[in-house]
Amino acid sequence: MKEFTVKELADRLSCAIDWPRQAVGVRFLFTKQEFEDAQAIELTKPINYCMMVKSATLGHAVKADASSHRCAAAARALGLELPDESHRSGRRGLAFRLYHDLGTAKYTRDRQTLCDHKAYGVMVKPLSQYADSEEAPHLVLLITSPYYAMRLIQGYTYYYGIQTNFKMSGLQAICSESTAYPYMSNSINLSTLCGGTRLYCKWSDSELAVSIPYSKFPLSVEGLLRTMDLQDSNEKKAVARQKLKANGMEEEFPLQDDFSYCYISSAYE
């Protein structure tokens, strides 16, 4: 398959995902120099990591070092800070009354993904704003609807097969489930979000998160495009046709009305 730039992949993705929020690329910045060189606005006061992600979905490129992360849980998940004993033991989670007992808290803590690196900072920016001269993001994160989450997973499955290890707990949704876990596991993940990010970011009740490591993103987008004709409704195909035409891709991915894989499968029943 032809290699595409990050911007080109963002354009191709937008042909199949008709959603107002932009797909964002997350990149870990491991040194002070890398942080200073990153093409994004540096935060001047601490905010939550999930708020950085929301800002990026609205078109803003932002970066933050460890001191600019207001949420300690996110700083630990991203590898900006080390977990302390109260976190490792599960006692902090129990103190927040998030678990029935310490055993459950400890069990969950041991299985909640935290990046095992030491990063200086993190950059979050729309995929469409990554310049050709920049290093690609480490992962792609989308806040979208259940329908488009389904389609993204189908696109991933087209090339990589079924993902049997989705990880979710309704806790630390953006930092752990949507960033640390897909980065560390090198696989797609789905998150139903958590109470914290829904409170601070005011996500719609109908929104959730899908994250894909960048190494698997190009083929996931290709799979998404190749399954449009088999999956999407006539209404969605009408929108997709306009976008495909605008990007010169209508002949590469022709779409038929009143057609889906259901009609193909019925021939074998």
Task: Give the C-alpha separation, 266 to 106, whole Å.
Answer: 49
Residue 265 lies in a domain: no
How many domains, the chain? 1
Residue 135 lies in a domain: yes
Domain hosting 103: range is: 6-226
pLDDT at 266: 59
Task: Give the C-alpha separation, 76 to 79, whole Å.
Answer: 5
Residue 204 lies in a domain: yes
Residue 233 lies in a domain: no
Residue 190 lies in a domain: yes
Crossing angle of helices 217-226 and 6-16, in 10° steps, is 30
What pTM did the predictor assign?
0.94
Q: How far is CA 145 from CA 88, 125, 156, 215, 268, in A?
A: 34, 20, 17, 23, 32
Task: Give the C-alpha separation, 99 to 113, whole Å.
Answer: 17
Residue 241 lies in a domain: no
Residue 118 lies in a domain: yes
Tens digits of pLDDT across the chain (269 residues)? 789 999 999 999 999 999 999 999 999 999 999 999 999 999 999 999 999 999 999 999 999 999 999 999 999 999 999 988 877 888 888 888 988 999 998 898 889 999 999 999 999 999 999 999 999 999 999 999 999 999 999 999 999 999 999 999 999 999 999 999 999 999 999 999 999 999 999 999 999 999 999 999 999 999 999 999 999 999 999 999 999 999 999 999 999 999 988 877 655 55
Residue 17 lies in a domain: yes
pLDDT at 37: 97
The answer to whether the beta carbons of residues 24 and 126 sit under 8 Å apart is: yes
Q: 4: part of which helix (H) or strand (E)?
A: none
Closest CA to 78 of 177, 144, 215: 177
pLDDT at 24: 99
